[in-house]
Structure 1
């Protein structure tokens, strides 16, 4: 591997470690070549997301530094596709991304949908319904991430695709539920407006009311259903990938547990899974080796119990 690529993959790993800890911990269970590819996909998404969410942040050298967020995102998008067409880049992180995408044969159309969704963040602050949020925004910001990661995970069947998409949706919905306060500060509400109205819930109040509790309980149930469908796809992955995805899935589900334990108070500090819990789960999965699919049937059971409440 060239010095340029080595530097790019190292930086991508650092970005993943700093901003996507669940992805980082899960990827540690993969062989190094797959691990690098996870980092590369995450880094591309992170850099594009920063243009949209943190326009005042000093950008990474691979990100255009001047212009409006729309102009910078358009320039970053054009740069990515130009580098993909050339098959390389002289910037280390972009070089690692292009190397990974071409080597894994990731469909370039995935990145068209991804950049389209990032652009929507600059024009949309609310979404009227769950189908509108899911199909209008999360299709390109979440479901497609599952599709991008799938070639890296080396599935044994094409049937894994729908489950990978569900996992992307599940991860992002958990983020939406956890980050309500942070998103409000950016002027955005990634929650279905019709369902908020039906419950009489008002996130802008930043208060846990009975109406907010019932709204959030409904969202958590939806979220767990997505995780259950994602877990059903684990048997389509080879053992290392099963351990990686299963670990990430479990850690993200624990965020939902903690949201419930906090009485749905997502307004007073970011809810996190403590590092010692992540380390303990990682240690167990690293020690046991391959996960049998039955290890994850507990995910389905927990969803069923919550739906019966």
Structure 2
């Protein structure tokens, strides 16, 4: 379905607002392949809002992960976004296309503004914090970088009962996806000078930052690193377990989409475990065949749910 038909279904009118949503959709299609595929299972009127939420997160992520800018330039860019975000919420309008779509989405679905301020706080942490001593320290960061993403999307997905009851599972799902990304991208994050794995848990296996850098540089199979990564995989699986009951709490039309994302990200976690130490030298990805194998049945369930 085209972007225009999705916006028609959502009741989004006005050329500038439609162009703003179109910009967010393009960001999602370009940078979030697994995420974008899962959104195809949502009803047409839900998709623009999800694209707007993704577009804002992508915009900020790109600033933080820009390898060609120094910390001061990144801090200035984040500060500019932060001021523009606060102004948009305070004034109820913005000329920036991504913020325009975001503001419209928060109004439509009553998404609390605090979730976006918490997200910005964690993104600012990325400019100064390069590792985390304990899981508690990591989870303070992950609240803003991932848990709030689940909480932002929840009102768009809808629930069969009070939304507040589904919030813990929605937050857990965002965290589970983030932990999966940390493991998949551990090598690339090392190149950026960051380690998103608790230092004390790595140390229990005789692993530290230097050991990870050594494994990244040489692509060497190392029992200690492999064992430490397996433990991190198990930690992530426990969070997936906390998130799974939340799928049944969602509105029926939204369940196939979230279930597909749950299974695709779970498969990435499996691939990380299967790759072992090799994940430090290459980035694992779900094959197109696997994506289709998950997506096609999910799409059929989504159509049936919308028909019902």
Do they fold alike, i.e. is TM over 0.5?
yes
Tell me which of 98, 102, 120 is aligned to 1:93.
Answer: 98
Taking the aligned partners of 1:19 and 1:259, their CA distance within structure 2 comes to: 20
Q: Encode CA deviations 1:235-273: one digit per residue, 9 max, x unaligned.
A: 110122111111101000000111122234212221000
Equivalent residue number for residue 141 of structure 1: 145
> What is the SS of the residue equivalent to 2:196?
coil
Q: In the aligned structure 2, how far is the partner of 1:30 from the partner of 1:128?
A: 39
For residues 200 and 224 of structure 1, the distance between their equivalents in structure 2, rounded to whole angstroms, comes to 22
- Post-superposition Cα deviations, 1:213-240, rounded to whole Å, max 9, x if no partner, equal 1111111111111111111111110122
Contact 1:242/1:291 (<8 A) preserved: no
Instruction: Compute the displacement of 1:90 (Å).
Output: 2.0
Count, aligned residues: 282
Aligned to 1:164: 170
Gaps of 5+ in 2: 1-12
Which stretch has the larger CA shift, 70-79 or 260-269?
260-269
Map 1:227-242 onto structure 2 (within 5 A).
Answer: 227-242=240-255
1:108 to 109, 113, 122: 113
User: Which residues in structure 2 correspond to 1:140-219 (within 5 Å)?
Assistant: 140-156=144-160, 157=162, 158-201=164-207, 202-205=211-214, 206=216, 207-219=220-232
Give a deviation string over 1:189-208, Cα, whole Å, max 9, x none. Answer: 11111111110122111233
- Could you tell me which of 68, 78, 89 is aligned with 1:56? 68
How far 1:149 moved relative to its partner?
A: 0.9
Q: Is the 8 A contact 1:243 1:290 kept in 2?
A: no
Conservation of the 8 A alpha-carbon contact between 1:9 and 1:93? yes
Determine if contact 2:173/2:239 at 8 Å carries over to the other structure.
yes
TM-score normalised over the length of structure 1:
0.87
Work out which of the residue numbers 118, 125, 128 in structure 2 matches 1:123. 128
Listed as ranges, the gaps of 5+ residues in structure 1 are 58-66, 293-309
TM-score by length of 2: 0.88
TM-aligned CA deviation for residue 41 of structure 1 = 0.5
Q: Give the direction of change, closer, same or farther, for the CA distance of 1:78–1:220 in structure 2 (3 Å limit).
A: same
Task: Provide Cα deviations, 1:257-301, integer angstroms capped at 9, x if missing partner.
Answer: 111222342122210001221122111111234799xxxxxxxxx
Tell me the secondary structure at the aligned position of residue 278 of structure 2.
coil
Q: 1:289 to 1:108 in 2, by over 3 A?
A: closer
Q: CA RMSD in A?
A: 1.6
Counterpart residue number, 1:282: 295
Q: Which of 15, 28, 31 does residue 40 from structure 2 map onto?
A: 28
